[in-house]
C-alpha cells in the first residue's frame, strides 16, 4: 500500500481561546478549509472519520457532524484512542479506500477545552483518588520519574525538548504560544507534578483540524495541487494503566514504528524531519527511543545540543507542537508533516524527503505512526 | 471537606479488598487456575480469564516502582496537603497498586526499587494501604 494513498488537503481553525465556538463549528470550518486546500467539492466525500472531542462525549457524534456537513458517508464514525486517534483514522481511511469502501475521506477532530472544560485532564483515577491520584500530568510524571531514575535522564534534557518546540512555535504566526523558552526560564517554571514543571506540559487549546485522504490515482484525476503520499503507518497499544504496566519506560510506540517503517520500506536513518507528539517533554524522549532514533534510555542525551531544533540533525515539531503551536491532540503534527513534504513549511527543513509523525493517547496507552513522503 | 473526600466505591467484587484493610490486612486476588496474582479487584483472571480466584493476604512487603509529588491539587480535598506524593508499589507477590509513601524524607529518600512495607492508615474514615520506606536488608 506504500504511496498508494495521499493526503490531498489540510485545514485548521485558529488555535487558542475561541469563545462561542462549539466543536461542530470548529470541525466544519476545518473540513471546509481542507476541502478548499485539496481543491475538491464536498459532495465527493464518502468517508468521514471523526476523533471524539475529549472534553465532552456525545453519542453518535460522527453522525451529528455528518449532518452539519450535510454528508451521508459510506463509511465513518467516531474513533477513540485519545491522542492516537487522528493518525489511526488516517490509516483506517487509507485501508478503506484501498479496499473500495470509500473513495475520498475526511479525517478530522475538534475540541474546546480552553473555553469549555478541562476536567477530562484532571479527573480522578477510580478508587485510587482516595490516595490523591488525579489527572493526566501525574501519569506522565510517573514515567518521567522512572526514566530519570533508571537512565539518569536530567531536567536539562527534558528542557531541551521544550526549548526546541518553543523556538519553532515562536516563528509560527498561527501558534498559540509564540514565546521562546530559555533554560533559566525552564527552571523558574513552577513544579506541577514532580518531576514535571509547567514548561514540560502542553497547552490547553480550542481548535479543529482536518485532512482529506484519497488514492494517489484519484488525486491525479482530480488535479489535486499538492498531494502528499502516505508511505507507511502503524499502531501499537500499551493499554495497561501506568501503575500496572510491567515496564514504565518502553511503550507500544516500538510496535507502531516497526509496522510503519516496514510498510514504508525505510528506517529511522531515512527520516529528515519528525513531528513527535509532545503532550509532555518526557513523551518525546520515550518516543524517540521507542522509534529507534537512539537507544533506550538515551533519549535525554539525544535531545541535547540542539539536535531537535531547526538546523539540527533531527528537527522536531517545526510548527511548535503541542507545547507551543496548540495543545490540540495530534492533527496539527500531521498538518505540519504535510507542509514539510510539500516544501511549504514556515520553518522548512531543506531537502526534507521523509517525515515521521507520532500520535499517542492516554498516558502512552495508545500509539499511531505515520510516514509521509514526496 | 469530609463530604468531598473521594471515598472508594465498594462493589460486590471489591468489597473484600476494602473489608480486609478495615481488618488490618492487604489482600490481593490469586488465581486458583493459573497462579496469577493481581490488583485491583476484577471478576476474572486477566491471564487465563477464569473466575476461579481467592482473596489472599499479602505480606505487605514490596518495592517502589515510581512516584510523583503533586504541587497543585486537582481536587479540593487534597489542597491542604500539598505537596503530597503518590507512588506505585509492586508487592512481592506481584500485584501493583497506587499508594502514598508515609515517610518520604526518611534517610536515603525516595528511590526506585527501594523496599517498602505496608502501613494501613485511616483517612476520612477509609482504611487505605499506604507504605513506608524500609532500610534495605544487608
Q: Is A250 within 8 Å of chain B by CB?
A: no
> Is there a contact between B70 and A146 if contact means CB atoms under 8 Å apart?
no
- pTM listed for this prediction: 0.97
A89, A107 in Cβ contact below 8 A? yes
pLDDT in tens, A40-55: 999 999 999 999 998 8
Query: Has residue A125 got a pLDDT over 70?
Result: yes
The pLDDT assigned to B137 comes to: 64
Distance (Å) from the C-alpha of residue A273 to the closest C-alpha of chain B? 33
From chain A, the residues in CB contact with B69 under 8 A are 191, 193-194
Give me the percent of chain A exceeding a pLDDT of 70: 100
Q: Report the pLDDT averaged over residues B36-51.
A: 97
pLDDT in tens, B93-105: 999 999 999 999 9
> Is there a contact between A124 and B75 if contact means CB atoms under 8 Å apart?
yes
pLDDT in tens, A148-178: 999 999 999 999 999 999 999 999 999 999 9
Query: Has residue B2 got a pLDDT over 50?
Result: no
From chain B, the residues in CB contact with A119 under 8 A are none
Distance of alpha carbon B3 from alpha carbon B55, whole angstroms: 30
> Is there a contact between A142 and B97 if contact means CB atoms under 8 Å apart?
no
What chain A residue is nearest to B4 in terms of C-alpha separation? A130
CB pairs under 8 A between A and B: 88
The residue among A343, A20, A16 whose CA lies nearest residue A174 is: A16
Query: Has residue A196 got a pLDDT over 60?
Result: yes
* Residue whose cell numbers read 527543513: A349
Q: Is A199 helix (H, G, I), strand (E, B) or coil?
A: helix
Q: Is A253 left (phi over 0), alpha (psi -120 to 50) or beta?
A: alpha
pLDDT in tens, B109-125: 999 999 999 999 999 99
The pLDDT assigned to A123 comes to: 87
CA distances from A221 to A40, A225, B59 (A): 11, 11, 70
Q: Give the model's confidence band at B67: pLDDT under 50 very low, under 70 low, under 90 confident, else very high.
A: very high
The DSSP result for A305-333, as a single string, is GGTTSTTSSS-B-TT-HHHHT---SSHHH
Q: Give the model's confidence band at A118: pLDDT under 50 very low, under 70 low, under 90 confident, else very high.
A: confident
Query: Has residue A80 got a pLDDT over 60?
Result: yes
> Is there a contact between B128 and A130 if contact means CB atoms under 8 Å apart?
yes
Per CATH, the architecture of B59-138 is what?
Beta Barrel (2.40)
* Residue whose cell numbers read 489482600: B27
The residue among B110, B111, B68, B65 whose CA lies nearest residue B88 is: B65
Who among B5, B68, B71 is closest to A190 (CB)? B71
End-to-end CA distance of chain B: 44
Q: Report the pLDDT averaged over residues A81-96.
A: 98
Question: Structural domains in chain A?
Answer: 5-116+203-372 (3.40.47.10)
- Contacts with A193 (C-beta within 8 Å, 6 or more apart), sequence order: A135, A137, A138, A141, B68, B69, B70, B71, B72
CA distances from B62 to A95, A274, B114, B135 (A): 47, 40, 8, 12
Sketch the domain layout of chain B as residue ranges.
9-57, 59-138
The pLDDT assigned to A120 comes to: 82
Q: Report the pLDDT averaged over residues A67-84.
A: 97
Note the residue count of chain B. Answer: 138
Q: Give the model's confidence band at B3: pLDDT under 50 very low, under 70 low, under 90 confident, else very high.
A: very low
Query: Has residue A207 got a pLDDT over 70?
Result: yes
Q: Report the pLDDT averaged over residues B5-23.
A: 97
ipTM: 0.96
Distance (Å) from the C-alpha of residue A190 to the closest C-alpha of chain B? 9
pLDDT in tens, A276-306: 999 999 999 999 999 999 999 999 999 999 9
Q: Report the pLDDT averaged over residues A184-209.
A: 98
Q: What cell was used for A255?
A: 510496535
Amino acid at each position: 500500500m506504500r504511496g498508494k494513498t495521499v493526503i490531498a488537503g489540510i485545514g485548521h481553525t485558529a488555535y487558542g481561546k475561541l469563545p462561542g465556538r462549539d466543536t461542530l463549528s470548529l470541525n466544519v470550518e476545518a473540513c471546509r478549509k481542507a476541502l478548499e486546500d485539496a481543491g475538491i467539492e464536498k459532495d465527493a466525500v464518502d468517508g468521514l472519520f471523526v476523533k471524539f472531542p475529549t472534553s465532552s462525549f456525545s453519542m453518535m457524534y460522527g453522525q451529528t457532524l455528518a449532518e452539519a456537513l450535510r454528508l451521508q458517508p459510506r463509511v465513518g464514525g467516531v474513533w477513540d484512542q485519545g491522542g492516537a486517534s487522528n493518525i489511526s483514522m488516517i490509516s483506517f481511511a487509507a485501508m478503506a479506500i484501498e479496499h473500495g469502501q470509500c473513495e475520498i475521506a475526511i479525517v478530522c477532530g475538534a475540541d474546546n477545552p480552553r473555553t469549555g472544560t478541562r476536567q477530562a485532564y484532571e479527573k480522578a483515577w477510580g478508587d485510587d483518588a482516595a490516595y490523591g491520584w488525579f489527572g493526566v500530568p501525574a501519569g506522565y510524571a510517573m514515567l518521567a520519574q522512572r526514566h530519570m531514575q533508571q537512565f539518569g535522564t536530567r531536567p536539562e534534557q527534558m528542557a531541551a525538548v521544550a526549548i526546541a518546540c518553543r523556538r519553532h512555535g515562536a516563528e509560527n504566526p498561527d501558534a498559540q504560544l509564540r514565546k521562546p523558552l530559555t533554560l533559566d526560564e525552564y527552571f523558574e517554571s513552577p513544579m506541577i507534578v514532580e518531576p514535571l514543571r509547567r514548561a514540560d506540559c502542553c497547552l490547553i487549546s480550542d481548535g479543529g483540524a482536518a485532512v482529506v485522504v484519497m488514492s494517489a490515482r484519484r488525486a491525479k484525476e482530480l488535479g489535486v495541487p499538492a498531494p502528499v503520499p502516505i508511505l507507511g503507518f502503524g499502531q501499537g497499544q500499551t493499554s495497561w494503566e501506568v501503575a500496572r504496566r510491567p515496564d514504565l519506560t518502553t511503550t507500544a510506540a516500538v510496535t507502531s514504528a516497526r509496522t510503519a517503517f516496514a510498510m514504508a520500506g525505510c528506517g529511522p536513518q531515512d527520516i529528515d524531519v519528525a513531528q513527535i507528539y509532545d503532550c509532555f517533554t518526557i513523551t518525546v524522549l520515550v518516543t524517540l527511543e521507542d522509534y529507534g532514533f537512539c537507544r533506550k534510555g538515551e533519549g535525554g542525551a539525544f535531545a541535547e545540543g540542539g539536535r531537535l531544533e531547526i538546523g539540527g540533525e533531527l528537527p522536531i515539531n517545526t510548527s511548535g507542537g503541542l507545547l507551543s503551536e496548540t495543545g490540540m491532540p495530534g492533527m496539527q503534527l500531521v498538518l505540519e508533516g504535510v507542509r514539510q513534504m510539500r516544501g511549504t513549511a514556515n520553518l522548512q527543513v531543506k531537502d526534507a524527503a521523509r517525515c515521521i509523525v507520532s500520535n499517542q493517547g492516554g498516558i502512552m496507552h495508545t500509539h499511531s505512526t505515520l510516514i509521509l513522503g514526496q | 471537606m469530609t463530604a468531598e473526600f473521594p471515598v472508594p466505591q465498594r462493589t460486590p467484587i471489591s468489597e473484600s479488598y476494602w473489608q480486609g484493610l478495615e481488618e488490618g490486612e492487604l489482600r490481593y486476588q490469586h488465581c486458583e487456575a493459573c497462579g496469577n496474582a493481581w490488583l485491583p479487584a476484577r471478576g476474572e483472571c486477566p491471564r487465563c480469564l477464569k473466575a476461579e480466584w481467592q482473596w489472599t493476604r499479602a505480606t505487605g512487603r514490596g518495592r517502589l516502582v515510581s512516584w510523583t509529588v503533586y504541587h497543585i491539587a486537582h481536587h479540593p480535598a487534597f489542597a491542604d496537603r500539598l505537596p503530597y506524593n503518590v507512588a506505585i508499589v509492586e508487592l512481592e507477590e506481584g500485584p501493583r497498586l497506587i499508594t502514598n509513601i508515609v515517610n518520604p524524607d526518611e534517610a536515603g529518600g525516595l528511590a526506585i526499587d527501594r523496599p517498602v512495607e505496608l502501613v494501613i492508615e485511616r483517612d476520612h474514615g477509609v482504611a487505605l494501604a499506604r507504605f513506608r520506606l524500609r532500610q534495605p536488608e544487608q
